Structure 1
Amino acid sequence: MQQPPTPAQGNTITLQELAEELGRDWRAMRELCRAQQVFARTPDTVVSASNADRLREAHRDKERRNAQLRSIPSDARRPKSKADAYAEAAYRQWPGELGVDVIARQWAEQMFEVAEAVVWWRAGMRGQDAALAGLLREFGVQPHHLAVVVRGDTMLFRLIDQGMAPEMIARLLRQEGHLV
């Protein structure tokens, strides 16, 4: 069986030599070769100058990205937990208010996504109204329904200030044709 032709001797380098030049071990070099689709069976595998240049450039790119990541504080790289996202959204809604972590937990317990909770808050629901919003949602009432005026009062006013039950809000919205 005929071996593939090898590049001219002066234009080649073994992967072991290239790994030493780049300060990498063989395993890291093999992963770099795999990512760049350069054949690498053993450390003695010979690569062309053009492939070696591609590997050097890929190594520099990876080092540059790693340096950029190291410059970012570690807490900024950490993905936020759902609880953190709720607390952050609640704090933005009610800056300076104590107990935003309690508010966040209550809304999470009602199975609201963070964005959905924010829509309810912007529609006028308060931090402590998570259970009410959960009941409204069960009856098909959406945040935009809170602004609907029926017989001179908004649904939000009827719910919060007059204490109307969520099922009564839903019934009234259905009677007036605002809820299907």
Structure 2
Amino acid sequence: MRRLQLTWIMILACTSFFAQNGFDSTSIEILPKSRLTITGDTNINEFLCEFNTALISKNKQIKFYEGESSICFEDALLRLENTGFDCGNKAINKDFHTLIQTDKYPEISLELKKITFEGKNRAVADVVLSIAGINKDYKVPVEIVSKNSPYFKGLLKLNIDDFNLEPPKKFFGMVVVKKEIEINFNLAVLN
């Protein structure tokens, strides 16, 4: 309950900044050299599902308000078509899509709400992750690497129970998917 209250306070604070000071708009592009993977384990093996970043729309319009040590965002939504994930073979792909309920919920979305800077190359991103129709708030540590275009690297650990995900049973329940999965991202952005 406390977490929900803090989330609403953050949203209201960002909204009041937008209302009082206005906000800017910019276009960003997530470059094809970006990488996004979901990894997990079973009691037998580990799996890695990589997203085809070429499927991400080229230009995204986002709105933002820049504060002293943070940036609040509006419309900073990344939609990932579930069919864009490749887990390496047909059987694992099928199990993965069963797990995330692709038939009923064809996409995973990640909405960036706020970035709070904690140094030159470190920040914490407040995001809303939506999987299988359930939204959850997360704070994700992010490393910012500036090269020709900035890279945003991070790792989000989550429990599949938080999204009411039920892994498929294999070999009469002898193969068990562990509850924790990781979303690894290395996003190259051009603005």
TM-score range with shorter-chain normalisation? under 0.3
With normalisation by structure 1, the TM-score equals 0.19
Higher relative contact order (CA 8 A, sep 6+): 2
With normalisation by structure 2, the TM-score equals 0.18
Larger proportion of helix: 1
